[in-house]
A = this chain, B = another copy of it.
Amino acid sequence: MKVHKFGVEDANFRRSPGQQGDIDVANLVDQRHGGPITIGYGRYASSQTLTETMMVHDVMIVLDGRITVSTADGSVTASRGEIIYMPKGESVTITTEGEGALTAYVTHPHWEESHTG
């Protein structure tokens, strides 16, 4: 693969698997491209909750809004320009409040290959 630039206008959002809320994801680079990492955008409506155990290492960079990640050890909230790192194996609850959030994400390995069913 060559050097590529992406923007939100390139994102083909679809419902994030394993949840019924209003959380959409759009992979821009993933297992289809032969490299070791997935890159994408995530879009969270307000007042959403998503609980999962991380199957991959996941970095979220907040581009707009505000997002909170809670674990058994406590919670962190990030807003624009801030980064939340969710290592593989961690059990997390991701929530938004009034404003929702737009994130960029980078995972290793590919998260989509780690989901079954």
Contacts and interface: CB of A to CB of B under 8 A. Distances in A.
B7 A85 contact: no
A37 interface: yes
Nearest to A90: B3
Interface residues of A, number: 40
Interface string A1-39: 111111110000000000000000000110000011101
A84 interface: yes
Contacts of A85: 1, 3-6, 28-29, 39
A86 interface: yes
Contacts of A87: 1-3, 35
B5 A73 contact: no
Contacts of A57: 35-37
